[in-house]
Amino acid sequence: MVLLGIELLLVGLSIGAALLDQSAVAIMAGTAAITLAGEIVRRLLTTPPGEPANPGDMETAGPTRPTEPLG
């Protein structure tokens, strides 16, 4: 959801900059928007249904070493 929000902001910035005749800003924002759109599509195509978008993040969220038995 966050990626889609950022995507919309970049598209809006690109269109706004183009209308204000700021071509360098429009080109940079447009390029970033296209790159982010590619990342969104890649995540949607490579993630099986019902799984988190980035399972690698879940592995790093917990402890990195195995726990030892308490008894």
Which pLDDT tens digit goes with each residue over 57-71?
555 555 555 566 665
pLDDT at position 45 is: 85
The verdict on residue 12 lying in a domain is: yes
The verdict on residue 68 lying in a domain is: no
Domain that holds residue 14: 2-45
Q: Do 10 and 33 touch, CB atoms closer than 8 A?
A: yes
Token pair, residue 21, equals 């005749």
- Any idea what DSSP says for residue 45? H
Does the global pTM surpass 0.85? Answer: no
Please list, in sequence order, all residues whose beta carbon lies within 8 angstroms of the beta carbon of residue 52, skipping any fewer than 6 positions away: 58
Compute the radius of gyration of the chain from its Cα atoms. 19
pLDDT at position 20 is: 93
* pLDDT per position as a tens digit, 14-57: 999 999 999 999 999 999 999 999 988 888 888 777 766 665 55
The verdict on residue 32 lying in a domain is: yes
